[in-house]
Structure 1
Amino acid sequence: MTHDNGGPRWGVLGTGGIAHSFLEGLRASSSSRATAVGSRTLARAEEFADAWNVPGRHGSYEELAHSPDVDVVYIATPHPWHHEAALLCLKAGKHVLVEKPMAMNALQVSQMVEAARDNDRFLMEAMWTRYLPLYRRVRELVADGALGEVRWISAEFGFNAPYDPEHRLFNADLGGGALLDLGVYPLALASHFLGELTVVGATRELSPDRMVDVQTTVLLRGQDGGTASVSCASRRTLPNRAVLAGSKGWVEMPMFWAGTEAVLHRDGHEPEPLHEPFRANGYEFEADEVARCLAAGERQSPDMPWAESLRLAGLMDQVRDVGGLVYSAPTVKAVPLG
């Protein structure tokens, strides 16, 4: 994990479950290595570092941000802290990969982008799905016209989690709710294949304490007239698949946000199974992309540029406005994307 392979030296900010998943993927990346971890306490940083054989251990985010042994920081905190942590690291001269959703709203994302630009640093939302081999394969098929013009998308992501008002999924102070945590995946899929999206309507079901959404469904219209229906849920299991349909066929992607299998249906042809495996757990591919961008001197990934993160944040702002979802100040305001 920590051998010097000439690639970027990663610092991990936050030690929750998603940080462990990222390190599992990073271990399969030949282009990177983890050199430091930062947590709110030194004890938690040391526990995490021991588990992954990471040499640098810091008992504060500030120490990690200013470590001379770190080139790029992966921000793995709950989303209400993404904005503050990203600004800290960018101003300290670090490149940043920040877990999705990039921030709580479009205003925060715009400030993160401005900081990256002002400090000439790389910044990317960790939309790992975009870098999976299966996703790239489907994107190539669409670009080659295998489906014709994509005009309809359906995507759902939902599971039945036990209700606990203190858990991050259900706690508004931790950025809880199905929309921010799960809905970002189907929204990102629709945005990628239909372009600029308009929210036509949204419905939601609230948690028992009426603080966050436990299910949200959104109807969207694409820039060229295509439509999408996307749903997310934290208190019931959904079909958990995406379907892209065009004038010449359709493709079905089970577990689309983390999938290795799909089926292509072309009009007049037998179904064609697609199989694109991971090397580890899938997170390795976004780590590879960060390393590629840094080696090339790029400050954005062409597959997940700043403008796309701004669009997604703006979309979720619109959905919350339409669906009547409210978060604690200062996380409420939506802003024009300009």
Structure 2
Amino acid sequence: MWTRCLPSFQKAKEWVASGRIGDVKLIDAKFCFNAPYDPKHRLFNPKLAGGSLYDTGVYVIEFTTGILGEKPEKVSGFATLAETGVDDFAVINMSFKSGALAMLSCGTRAHVNRDAGIYGTNGRIVVYEFFSSKKCELYDNNNNLIESFEDDCQEGFVYQIRHFNNLFNKGKLESDIIPLEDTANCADVFDKLIKQWGIEENL
């Protein structure tokens, strides 16, 4: 999950972990775009693992679990289905043992603002264009800007490549940024939502 390697994501996670916004109560993240409907395209073709959950939902889920560092206890959601039977728009709610809630959405039929918000008892964090973020800001409860972070790298995948190289050079088989367990947990969220939505998977 390359987006977890982005410096802006790491800075937001650092602010959360160090208690800069107190206890996290809500994470709001959306990744939606408007694609022309084509039943043969991978986005809409069930035989090609189509659907907004698999394509963009993975990013909002992994953003949330990455920031909080925990697996959701409860997962629920609603989705609209394309004519091919795959989800083309969805909202996802998750609750965590820490007390945090997540309000997420993913979609392939409408453009939506992609700034993510992390709201705590002592302030909030905005991660701009979280999917490919270069900037995040920390605010207090009075909406005063406390700290800002910005990265000028033009290609976000650079950080994933550097991280992988570092792991390889150290002989590590697991990343501390993207633990293997997180992938299994994300797949579990997928399974629960697909079942709720009554989508028959085509393997």
Distance in 1, matches of 2:146 and 2:38, equals 42
| Counterpart position of 1:172 | 46
Indicate conservation of the 8 Å contact 1:151/1:226, yes or no: yes
Distance in 2, matches of 1:182 and 1:138, equals 21
Instruction: Determine whether 1:298 maps to 2:172.
Output: yes
| 2:73 corresponds to which of 174, 194, 198 | 198
Instruction: Determine whether 1:266 maps to 2:140.
Output: yes
How much is the aligned-residue C-alpha RMSD, in angstroms? 1.5
| Counterpart position of 2:26 | 152
| Counterpart position of 2:2 | 128
Secondary structure, counterpart of 1:232 in structure 2: strand
Indicate conservation of the 8 Å contact 1:178/1:215, yes or no: yes
TM-score, normalised to structure 1's length? 0.57
Secondary structure, counterpart of 1:257 in structure 2: helix
Q: What is the CA-CA distance between 1:225 and the residue it aligns to?
A: 2.3
Indicate conservation of the 8 Å contact 1:199/1:318, yes or no: no
Distance in 1, matches of 2:142 and 2:107, equals 36
| 1:322 corresponds to which of 185, 189, 196 | 196
Q: What is the CA-CA distance between 1:201 and the residue it aligns to?
A: 2.0
Q: What is the CA-CA distance between 1:272 and the residue it aligns to?
A: 4.0
| Counterpart position of 1:61 | none
Q: What is the CA-CA distance between 1:210 and the residue it aligns to?
A: 3.8
Distance in 2, matches of 1:274 and 1:236, equals 30
- Alignment length (residue pairs): 202
Change (3 A) 1:231 1:292: same
Indicate conservation of the 8 Å contact 2:4/2:66, yes or no: no
Change (3 A) 1:323 1:199: farther
1:84-138 deviation digits (Å, cap 9, x = unpaired): xxxxxxxxxxxxxxxxxxxxxxxxxxxxxxxxxxxxxxxxxxx111110101111
The answer to which structure, 1 or 2, has the higher relative contact order (CA under 8 A, 6+ apart) is: 2
Unaligned regions of 5+ residues in structure 1, if any? 1-126, 331-338
Indicate conservation of the 8 Å contact 1:179/1:232, yes or no: yes
Q: Which moved more, 1:256-265 or 1:151-160?
A: 256-265
Secondary structure, counterpart of 1:148 in structure 2: coil
Q: What is the CA-CA distance between 1:263 and the residue it aligns to?
A: 2.4
Distance in 1, matches of 2:131 and 2:124, equals 18
Indicate conservation of the 8 Å contact 1:199/1:315, yes or no: no
Unaligned regions of 5+ residues in structure 2, if any? none
Distance in 1, matches of 2:110 and 2:73, equals 27
1:279-333 deviation digits (Å, cap 9, x = unpaired): 33110100101100011110011110111111111111111111222221x3xxx
| Counterpart position of 1:245 | 119
Q: Which moved more, 1:128-137 or 1:268-277?
A: 268-277
Q: What is the CA-CA distance between 1:274 and the residue it aligns to?
A: 2.5
Percent of counterpart pairs with the same letter?
29
Indicate conservation of the 8 Å contact 1:199/1:218, yes or no: no
Q: Tell me the amino acid that sits aligned with residue 306 of structure 1.
A: L
| 1:189 corresponds to which of 46, 53, 63 | 63
Distance in 2, matches of 1:199 and 1:215, equals 20
Q: Tell me the amino acid that sits aligned with residue 97 of structure 2.
A: Q
Secondary structure, counterpart of 1:211 in structure 2: coil
- Greater Rg by CA: 1
Distance in 2, matches of 1:218 and 1:198, equals 13
| Counterpart position of 1:58 | none
